[in-house]
A and B are shown apart, each in its own frame.
Chain A
């Protein structure tokens, strides 16, 4: 590379001829098109990422909007369990349970019952707090917990995962609707907003 040649040519040359109007319009149009495409793409992304499907269970009398593409399961000891098939290593999930709570049953009794059951089924189950939190204008009871999710199959070497969870209890006459959110500890907070939208969409 001839550096001296470079310096000579740049210093002595006058600036190139002015750009024409077409040049300037073209420049602006390129920028505008790029921005427009980006806006279009981002709105498509936003719409697609926030798409929801509606779950209805007339027998239990609940319905809610959940993220599109999640798997629904009604075969367990819950009304419904909705899981994110993509989440790794633990499938982020929402559960809705209906627990009889008539007569003198308090919300605390309901939560204690859940704790007793979970402590036999879930490894290292711990309850962290039970609080009253405002949700949609009402004060609801919320229980935070954690456990370790491990695969019992000894031939599958899944690392145990710390899972955080949150129960929100809604009193509805003589029953308690328990809405549970569970996610791996490292993504719990970032997915919490989606759960709150799910909770806000709940009708009973």
Chain B
């Protein structure tokens, strides 16, 4: 606890009050003191459900591609690809808004704004910058394996993650709407979903539809590559919002997210190259997506655990209401 300082304002709402309480270098009014450490299970459940449905869809697509004759797999390609690109994000939003409609969750109107903003920035800024201006894909295919990894880590990762970070940081992070650590997860995931939806949709449209199995798995892998770092960004932004952490904490977290994004983008394609011979085509769609899904699950679990731990720690220090 900290002594009242006459010129301190609530870090969330800016209210000047005599009942200001300090915690971790920041100050809180009574309204917001216990709020920032609240757990919001619905956000985690919504994400868990969405990821599970994605996993089931992957299995179902795999089975369908084995059963259906090759000729019939052409017709639903575009529809299935667009579905994979768009539906996961919409399902996630739907779950959240259904909970809000039942009064079990409060959602800010900025949530869809962040989603759409992320999609627009992905479509109009980062993707053209990487694909057209830098012609990154052309260079990546001509260079060595190590350069491909470094290229993803030093170029793709920083640009994508900085965009995600900036979207959350400069829209909702420093507003009264951002009231909980969990809001970091919520808005970062919203940005991540919007970003990856736009990337995937443009990918599908550019290629005119993807194959039933390989294409769908690639989209899922890409989704994981953007959501995993979003979770990390959301965690560090959420944590940093409500404690005055050392100056390197946030940059370290964003850097880690950047490395995660770059590594998953690299692994998502590189690991799919397999043995080439007279019976093997040199490609399997599974290694990349399995690694991506496992990484996402791991990051998800870690972030969930850490956030829950910090919230519990905060509650313990503040004392129960």
A contacts B: CB pair < 8 Å: yes
Say whether B158 contacts A38, CB under 8 Å. yes
B254 touches A33 (CB 8 A): yes
B153 surroundings in chain A (CB, below 8 A): 37, 41
- Inter-chain CA distance A22–B139, complex, in Å, is 38
> In the complex, which of the residues B13, B16, B161 contacts A13, with contact meaning CB atoms closer than 8 Å?
B13
Inter-chain residue pair count (beta carbon < 8 A): 119
Q: Among the listed B25, B169, B249, which residue makes an inter-chain contact with A20, where contact means beta carbons less than 8 Å apart?
A: B25
Closest A residue, CB atoms, query B157: A37
Q: Which of B8, B9, B107 has the most CB of A within 10 A?
A: B9
Q: Answer whether residue B250 sits at the interface, using C-beta atoms and an 8 A cutoff.
A: yes
Interface residues of A in 95-150 (CB under 8 A from B): none
With A29-B247, A29-B248 already in contact, the answer to whether A41 and B12 are too (CB < 8 A) is: no
- Decide yes or no: A41 and B14 within 8 Å by CB, A3-B109, A30-B162, A48-B139 being known contacts: no
CB nearest to A7 among chain B residues: B109
Question: How many interface residues does B have (CB within 8 Å)?
Answer: 53
- Whether A13 and B134, one on each chain, are in contact in the complex, defined by CB atoms closer than 8 angstroms, is no
Distance in Å: Cβ of A3 to nearest Cβ of chain B: 7
- In the assembled complex, A16 has its CB within 8 A of some CB on chain B: yes
Q: How large is the interface on A (under 10, 10 to 19, 20 to 34, 35 or more residues)?
A: 35 or more
Central interface residue in B107, B108, B151, B251, by most chain A CB within 10 Å: B251
Q: Indicate whether A14 reaches chain B with its CB closer than 8 angstroms.
A: yes
B150 at the A/B interface (Cβ < 8 Å)?
Answer: yes
Contacts of A158 in B (CB 8 A): none
- Residue A194, interface by CB 8 Å: no
A89 in the interface (beta carbon within 8 A): no
Would you call A159 an interface residue if the criterion is a C-beta within 8 Å of the partner chain's C-beta atoms?
no
Say whether, besides A1-B109, A30-B251, A48-B139, A16 and B174 are in contact (CB < 8 Å): yes
Residues of chain B at the chain A interface (Cβ within 8 Å): 8-16, 25-27, 97, 100, 107-109, 134, 136, 139, 141-144, 147, 150-151, 153-155, 157-159, 161-162, 165, 169, 174-177, 240, 244-251, 254-255, 258
